[in-house]
Amino acid sequence: MFLGRVIGTVWATRKEERLEGLKLMVVREVDLELRPQARTVIAADVVQAGVGEVVLVSTGSAARQSPLVEKRPVDALIMAVVDNLDFQTPEALEAAYVARRDPLLADLDAQPES
């Protein structure tokens, strides 16, 4: 899945009949800090996401694993609205590792050699 922001809606009258009744949204991929990225997809929506909301998008056959989109020609699905993101930068992970390691090394140094 990837993170995106709903930025619009698509209307189509002439369409494959299995699309009838499906809402199609424009979603711009965003990074973890919610900055817009290059990828834009048109995705079906089963969680009533509104324009401006940050969502999770599933692609491929995963996008049809919901009763509302089963057997429809849909390859991207908004399947969750994101409440919160909690993530660490590689630098933070490294710092946490060092913070755990250094006291252990200090303990080792403090032990008399046997």
* Residues binding a second copy (CB under 8 A): 1-3, 5, 7-16, 18-19, 24, 26, 28, 31-32, 36, 40-43, 46-48, 51-52, 56, 58-66, 71-77, 79-90, 93, 96-97
Least distance to a second copy, CB of residue 75, Å: 4
Nearer to a second copy, 48 or 111 (CB): 48
* Residue 78 · residue 55 · CB < 8 Å: yes
Least distance to a second copy, CB of residue 105, Å: 19
Cα–Cα distance, 28 to 40 (Å, whole number): 4
Nearer to a second copy, 40 or 113 (CB): 40
Cα–Cα distance, 77 to 89 (Å, whole number): 28
Q: What is the per-residue burial (b if ≥16 Cβ within 10 Å, else e) of 74-93?
A: bbbbbbeeeeeeeeeeeeee
